[in-house]
Amino acid sequence: MEFKTAGNRVEIEPQRDGSTFVHKGMTLHMGDELWLEISGRKHKATATKVGDVWWVHILGHTLQFEMVEPGATGADNDSGLTAPMPGKILDVLVSEGQSVSSGDALMIMEAMKMEHKIVSGQDGVIESIFFNTGDQVEQGTVLLSIK
């Protein structure tokens, strides 16, 4: 079984015995409630699935594990920059064909009454800009692409 968490792909095949699962010396007892046993101490866990993502609360941590469908390729192509929130484009700071460096501010958008900078995660050339100042964008919309 494969998951994506914090940008990494991880594989796991826990040993299963009925409603008990074992992995790296930890035992998880599955029922209406989830109890994790580590070195003789028990800890309550909470988990729920949203879309393809399992949200897990354990020992004061909240973690997310996205199911990876069997056969999916390992390469992530993240050269497109997406809107992190629904909001409005306030300013476009670059133009198509312009060279940018990782960390450069590309756009300014307003969401939840605050300004956010859209920052390049790579060095490259601006290929296309899909929105203009004043445009409303939905969460996850690709704003511009970098080659």
Site residues, another protein (CB under 8 A): 1, 3, 5, 10, 12-14, 16, 19, 21, 23-24, 26, 28, 30, 32, 34, 36, 38, 45-50, 54-63, 65, 67, 84-87, 90, 108, 110-116, 139
Phi, psi of 92 (to 5 degrees): -110, 115
CB of 128 to another protein, least distance (A): 24
Sheet harboring 53-58: ordered strands across? 8-11, 2-5, 61-67, 53-58, 41-50, 34-38, 26-30, 20-23, 15-17
Spatial separation of the C-alpha atoms in residues 110 and 71, rounded to whole Å: 38
Nearer to another protein by Cβ, of 86 and 124: the residue is 86
Neighbour-count burial of 146, counting CB atoms closer than 10 A to its CB (0-12 exposed, 13-18 middle, 19+ buried):
buried
CB of 73 to another protein, least distance (A): 21
Residue type, 6: A
Nearer to another protein by Cβ, of 2 and 129: the residue is 2
CB of 82 to another protein, least distance (A): 12
Sheet harboring 87-92: ordered strands across? 114-119, 105-111, 87-92, 136-137
Nearer to another protein by Cβ, of 128 and 139: the residue is 139
CB of 126 to another protein, least distance (A): 19
- The CA-to-CA distance between both ends of the chain, in Å, stands at 33
Nearer to another protein by Cβ, of 24 and 77: the residue is 24
CB of 145 to another protein, least distance (A): 20
